[in-house]
Amino acid sequence: MASTLSVAQLPPHDPGTPALSVVDMHTGGEPLRIVLAGCPEVAGPTLLAKRRYMRQHLDHLRRRLMYEPRGHRDMYGAVLVPSELPEAHLGVLFLNNEGYSSMCGHAVLALGRFALDYGLVPAPPTGSREALVNIHCPCGLVAAFVECEGGRSRGPVRFHSVPAFALATDLLVDVPGHGKVVVDVAYGGAFYAFVSAEKLGLDVCSSKTRDLVDAASAVTETVKAQFKINHPDSEDLAFLYGTILTDGKDAYSEEPTTNICVFADEQVDRSPTGSGVTARIALQYHKGLLELNQTRAFKSSATSSVFTGKAVRETKCGDFKAVIVEVSGQAHYTGTASFIVEDDDPLRDGFLLK
């Protein structure tokens, strides 16, 4: 029996439904499930059009990959697609428990390694210590720089963001159960509301995760109801993705500042949140709390994993003063898997416990 079972084989399954093959990774504890094979063609002339097509026509695949019994309510995924941008090495659609993200920093850090190791980018010249991977995300082109040795990835990855900016500061909102609360809203490829957990009667480092999730979700729903989000480039990007609760330590320090991100349908990021770090640095730079090329460390209250980030140059996004932010972190492989569907499985497309 040992020799018979030594090589994994797919059990009998619906022949009309291809198996989904994936590579699983994590960055700072936050999972990433990358689809290798089995996904139908995602139609559309642009990446944003492909994102709309997948939402309208292939959402069962998102649920199948993200939800139980193959995933869980905090699973995160990536579907690789062709990009219309000539400088892009690959395009990506991000999947979460609610839908489709516009940006994901922890995924970009992982995809940088994956793209190099799986031959999606040209092999770097002999002796190169870093490889460039241009990743077309729904928010725009993001450049990842992958440490490498002998043409394979090793060590951390860093990326340069799309233009990041503060959309609103000192915004007063009325949060049910918490009263009047002052929040900031900033963009780092996705829009987040930022508020110190202390203003909600919580401690981001010691409060129960459930209490942090409930408070962050209340802030998200309140800001959505009371404040209009807009993005100068596309309405597809004009939505509040989630709320990041912080320790309130926004002034520059060499010590890490801690936060937790609650996004999509109360999904909890285990990492410090790459696009959140991007937005938070843009916010701190906007407030004069951070200078160009001044590096800060950001720690996840969920896992204590750390990303570093810095604003590397000024730019514009429409009429907004913006910055390009560099974020660095470490991604790891966790394994590969193939998922099948039996034709009589009533839970073939997954489920989420509420």
The catalytic residue among 39, 104, 139, 148 is 104
Does the annotation count 137 as an active-site position? Answer: no
Q: Considering only CA atoms, which of 229, 306, 211 is closest in space to residue 268?
A: 211
In angstroms, how far is the first alpha carbon of the chain from the final one? Answer: 41
Active-site amino acid positions? 104
